[in-house]
């Protein structure tokens, strides 16, 4: 059952270049213009969220308008979070066994526990949503492969941690140091459980695609992954739809081709809310461009 207290995080997922960041920006703008304090946050390692709002310099956060904040979540923020939640504790235990400096230790943990960075990204967004500082959070993600990894991580980490108590309790640690490690592992297990719950009940997913063969093929794999983890998408955006063809045989032919794919999408994803976005004859950048997208998205 969806947790209605928590269902105001909207995530945009899809293949690279289909318009996720554009839709996320336009959606954030929409909520901000309704008076909701909104955060648009990107977990793409090569983010373009600030860029699309014409914020050119190397800032990681910005306030674009009253009530509209942008943030790009990088490895630095995730490391800080790791520090705060678990890192220092676990480091104390390990450094009593082997001499290793902290940065090396963090890299080591990240390498033996794949997906740890993704886990903390999910956890970071979960905490942001619980803080209630923003009325809306719009979550712009990396291209499909990485995002699926992000969604799988909490479940995967749980699996990964199953044998951990057995392994760690065999380490020849003193009585005082053995407990903390086991406690930390337990803490991690419950963290990944909570993060999975957050993804299931606290996030609404929009999948973005374009009417082309490759993009549509990849949709199947995203829906399969969603099913596997008990996640449900609520909306499908078909972007770059050619609406005006007058006088151009080139556009006419492109539009014909798109039509077949669009029909296929409506047939295949009947249970979903489907929204079409026109292909604009210009690049979408800055508030004015995003407003054009907003108007089509929230018609």
Ligand X SMILES: Nc1ncnc2c1ncn2[C@@H]1O[C@H](COP(=O)(O)OP(=O)(O)O)[C@@H](O)[C@H]1O
Binding positions for ligand X, rule: CB under 6 A: 14, 16-22, 48, 239-240, 277, 279-280, 283-284
**Minimal CA–CA distance to 136: which of 207, 232, 33, 282?**
33
* Residue 28 interacts with, from Mg ion, ligand X, none (CB under 5-8 Å by kind): none
Interface with Mg ion (CB under 5 A), residue total 2
Task: Give CA separation, 50 vs 22, 55, 73, 194, in Å.
Answer: 11, 5, 11, 30
Stretch that binds Mg ion, among 16-24, 147-155, 222-230, 242-250 (CB under 5 A): 16-24
DSSP 39: E
**Minimal CA–CA distance to 73: which of 37, 127, 133?**
127
Task: Give CA separation, 191 vs 8, 29, 41, 61, in Å.
Answer: 21, 32, 21, 26
Nearby residues of 159 by Cβ (< 8 Å), 6 or more positions away: none
- Of 73 and 116, nearer to ligand X (C-beta) is 73
Query: Shortest gap between Cβ of 143 and ligand X (angstroms)?
Result: 7
Q: Which of 21, 38, 206, 218 binds Mg ion (CB under 5 A)?
A: 21
- Of 20 and 69, nearer to ligand X (C-beta) is 20
**Per DSSP, what are the bridge partners of residue 11?**
139, 205
Cα diameter, the chain: 81
What mask, x for binding Mg ion by CB under 5 A, covers residues 244 to 263? --------------------
Query: Shortest gap between Cβ of 134 and ligand X (angstroms)?
Result: 21
Binding to Mg ion by residue 209, rule CB under 5 A?
Answer: no
Binding to Mg ion by residue 22, rule CB under 5 A?
Answer: no
Q: How would you label 65-95 residue by residue, b for 16+ Cβ within 10 Å and e otherwise?
A: eebbbbbbbeeebbbebbeebbbeebbebbe
Query: Shortest gap between Cβ of 3 and Mg ion (angstroms)?
Result: 27
* Residue 43 interacts with, from Mg ion, ligand X, none (CB under 5-8 Å by kind): none
- Of 40 and 255, nearer to Mg ion (C-beta) is 40
* Residue 67 interacts with, from ligand X, Mg ion, none (CB under 5-8 Å by kind): none
DSSP H or E stretch at residue 277: strand 273-278
Query: Shortest gap between Cβ of 263 and ligand X (angstroms)?
Result: 19
- Residue 84's SS3 state is helix
Query: Shortest gap between Cβ of 205 and ligand X (angstroms)?
Result: 14
Interface residues toward Mg ion, by CB under 5 A: 20-21
């Amino acid at each position: 059952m969806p947790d209605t207290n928590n269902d105001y995080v909207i995530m945009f997922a899809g293949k690279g270049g289909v318009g996720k960041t554009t839709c996320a920006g336009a959606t954030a703008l929409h909520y901000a213009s309704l008076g909701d304090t909104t955060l648009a946050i990107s977990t793409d390692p090569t983010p373009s969220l600030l860029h699309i709002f014409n914020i050119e310099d190397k800032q990681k956060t910005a306030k674009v308008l009253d009530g509209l904040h942008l943030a790009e979540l990088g490895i630095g923020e995730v490391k800080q979070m790791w520090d705060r939640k678990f890192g220092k504790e676990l480091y104390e235990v390990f450094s009593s066994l082997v001499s290793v400096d902290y940065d090396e230790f963090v890299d080591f943990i990240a390498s033996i526990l794949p997906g740890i960075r993704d886990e903390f990204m999910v956890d970071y967004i979960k905490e942001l949503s619980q803080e209630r500082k923003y009325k809306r959070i719009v979550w712009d993600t990396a291209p499909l492969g990485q995002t699926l990894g992000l969604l799988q991580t909490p479940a995967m980490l749980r699996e990964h941690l199953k044998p951990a108590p057995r392994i760690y309790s065999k380490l020849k640690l003193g009585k005082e140091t053995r407990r903390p490690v086991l406690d930390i592992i337990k803490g991690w297990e419950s963290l990944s459980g909570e993060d999975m719950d957050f993804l299931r009940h606290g996030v609404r997913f929009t999948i973005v695609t374009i009417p082309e063969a490759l993009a549509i093929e990849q949709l199947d794999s995203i829906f399969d992954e969603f099913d596997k983890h008990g996640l449900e998408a609520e909306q499908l955006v078909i972007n770059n739809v050619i609406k005006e063809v007058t006088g151009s045989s080139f556009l006419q032919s492109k539009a014909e081709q798109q039509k077949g794919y669009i029909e296929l999408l409506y047939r295949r994803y009947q249970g979903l809310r489907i929204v079409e976005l026109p292909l604009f004859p210009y690049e979408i950048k800055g508030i004015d461009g995003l407003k054009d997208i907003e108007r089509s998205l929230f018609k």
